[in-house]
Amino acid sequence: MRRAPVSVLGLLLLSAGLATSPSHSETLKDLYFGEALYYAHQGLYFEALERLDTEVKQHDAVDEPQLDTLYQHIEDAEFSLGDFELRYRMHHRAGRAIKAVLEAAVDDVIRNDAAYRLARIHFQKGQLAEALQALDRVEGKVPESIEDDIEFLRANVYLAEERPEVAIDVLEKLRDSDEFGGFAGYNLGIAYLQAGRRQEALEQLDRAGRIETDDPAELAIRDKANLVLGSVLLDTEDYAEAIPYFNRVRLDGPFSNQALLSSGWANMSLDRIERAVVPWNILASREVTDGAAQEARLALPYAYGRLNVHGRAAIHYGQALDAYTGEIDKLNESIDSIRDGKFLEALVREEIRKDKDWVIRLRALPESPETYYLMELLASHDFQTGLQNYLDLADLRRKVVEWEASFDAYDEMVEIRHDHYEPLLPDVDAEFRELDSRMRLRVEQHKMLIKRRDDLLTTPRPEFLATPEEQRMLARLEALETQLVRGGATQDSPDMQRLVRLKGVLVWRLETEYHARLTEFDQNLQKLDEAMAVAQAQYDQYVRVRQAATHSYVGYTRPINRLRVHAANAIQTIDRLMARQGRLLETVAIDELIARRSRLENYGDKARFALADSYDRATQAQARTEAQP
């Protein structure tokens, strides 16, 4: 993807919009990370940060992180966290998050990507030494997609540090880059200029001004290369050499007005006045709010004056004067409108901000100030930062106010649940206590039976498996035996012999049926296990439902109140910051409009004086013509 770097002081430096797309793993394992990406891909970085921050914190708190679904993406997630923070203009936190990735034992590709992003943050903040330090940490395998980005950023840092020679070394290698070809070529020309290598600068800018492209951004940079080259030649009074470069600038490009103006002045300086009139004529009919067009309205009659066409000069001076007066009136209205707070009101209107051409739409709003004169201001980095901060604050305010409204609803919800459950729970708890004691008894009995079964497996005890009838018979036989012994019966007595035989029959049955009886006992116990499991599940569910009832209304009052206080404090802080930020933006906007007005007033004075002068000269010329025989 090609990108059009922002122009600052004639150099093309990467500034806003630095971050690449949020990372996207091919096989996403964590839905919550995916949810954060869903918001990030829509530019909703607050929501993305809120989701991902919570998810990463939860991951950090788990005992066995390798079992968590975020485990496979954690480096990517932490990286994205820094990325989102950067995009949400939270450089302080973004820097910390990315540094954490840099210091972790991660793959070269990830570390180098992080180093690059950190360097961009520092560069954006004007911390050039830190930006270079971060770039110096790039080593080993570099992601192919950012190889040229890294070098381009490095060159831009050198240029910003006013070390053009080092920047030249880097940019010369990027000159033929697919991604930065046009921009690197232009910056290389500027670097040569900065280094005082004029001839090389001219040759490089000439090359940059000839590139074949149909990409709008590259076409614009080609125009700019030609414009700068022409202007450099104009400065050194090489007027004839300068003109072809101005002529190369497209008539419908963003640098066309400046090129037409400069072309006119170059021709004027060569005394080719008729040729100066051509570009100025085109320019004077263009949008009057443009600075170059305003200047052309003054330059054109000046050229007619030099051609001794004083009458036409006077007419054009008059038209210029009318145009300036009209624009000064508009500027005054705009200044008043800003002072009335209309500018800030218009800025925060939602329907405006959803439109990518919102600056243009802003102008169409009734009662909002004329923003054409603020276009350059709106494009400047400092103003953009202030403006974005103001808009972010307005968004935050909307969110917090919306949350505040829900606190009362939550309070009411908790209260309704409290009133519903509180009268019911004492009876429920009493029943529960009874159930609980019965449950505990059954559990103990169950445990005892299991133990007995386990004991029988190791030490067989047939009598333990006797039926109640058999147990009664055994007890009866033993009682009879005791009675016979007390009565003096011997082992050989017929009664005693009969008793032994009866006992033998019973023991025989118990011994021979022991295994079958043990199997049956085990089967019955297994059925009991199942029944106990059902009872335990019902018991657990009851406990959970009982706990859920309490959890549905207990323990909310304090956090809701705490959040209520935090939200109120946040709104206070936001209001204070919005007021300060808003005032600053208004002041800067008004200063800009006043500067524009002063320039127009100055032009107006000149036009007024020149108008009178042209009339005089036209009158004198007419008098001379009439005086001729």
**129, 379, 401, 505: which one contacts another protein (CB under 8 A)?**
379
What is the rounded CA–CA span in Å between residue 627 and residue 629?
6
327: its two tokens: 């624009």
Nearer to another protein, 36 or 174 (CB): 36
What is the rounded CA–CA span in Å between residue 262 and residue 267?
9
621 contacts another protein (rule: CB under 8 A): no
In angstroms, what is the minimal distance from the CB of 537 to another protein?
Answer: 10
- Element of type H or E holding 233: helix 216-235
Residues 440-459 touching another protein, rule: CB under 8 A, are: none
Nearer to another protein, 170 or 282 (CB): 282
Helices (H) and strands (E) in the chain, counts: 25, 2
380 contacts another protein (rule: CB under 8 A): yes
Site size with another protein, rule: CB under 8 A: 93
| Residue showing tokens 């209304």 | 553
Residues 390-449 touching another protein, rule: CB under 8 A, are: 392-393, 396, 399-400, 403, 410, 413-414
10 contacts another protein (rule: CB under 8 A): yes
334 contacts another protein (rule: CB under 8 A): no
**319, 325, 385, 557: which one contacts another protein (CB under 8 A)?**
385
**17, 42, 355, 526: which one contacts another protein (CB under 8 A)?**
42
Give the closest residue to 555 by CA, choosing from 431, 386, 399, 417.
Answer: 417
With beta carbons less than 8 A apart as the criterion, state whether 344 and 390 touch. yes
Amino acid at 526: Q
Task: Give the count of beta carbons closer than 10 Å to the beta carbon of residue 152.
Answer: 25
567 contacts another protein (rule: CB under 8 A): yes
From 113-121, 180-188, 382-390, 478-486, give the range in contact with another protein by CB under 8 A.
Answer: 382-390
With beta carbons less than 8 A apart as the criterion, state whether 302 and 614 touch. no
Nearer to another protein, 341 or 559 (CB): 559
330: its two tokens: 């508009």
What is the rounded CA–CA span in Å between residue 175 and residue 197?
17
CA torsion angle 595 601 605 608 (round to 10)? 150
How is residue 7 annotated by DSSP? Answer: E
Residues 82-101 touching another protein, rule: CB under 8 A, are: 88-93
In angstroms, what is the minimal distance from the CB of 298 to another protein?
Answer: 7
What is the rounded CA–CA span in Å between residue 607 and residue 324?
9
35 contacts another protein (rule: CB under 8 A): yes
Residues 164-223 touching another protein, rule: CB under 8 A, are: none
With beta carbons less than 8 A apart as the criterion, state whether 135 and 150 touch. yes
**77, 188, 292, 347: which one contacts another protein (CB under 8 A)?**
292
Coil/strand/helix, residue 42? coil
**592, 604, 611, 618: which one contacts another protein (CB under 8 A)?**
592
615 contacts another protein (rule: CB under 8 A): no
Residues 523-542 touching another protein, rule: CB under 8 A, are: 541
Coil/strand/helix, residue 344? helix
Residues 545-564 touching another protein, rule: CB under 8 A, are: 545, 548, 551-552, 556, 559-560, 563
Nearer to another protein, 461 or 544 (CB): 544
How is residue 144 annotated by DSSP? Answer: G
Residues 312-331 touching another protein, rule: CB under 8 A, are: none
**19, 28, 425, 473: which one contacts another protein (CB under 8 A)?**
28
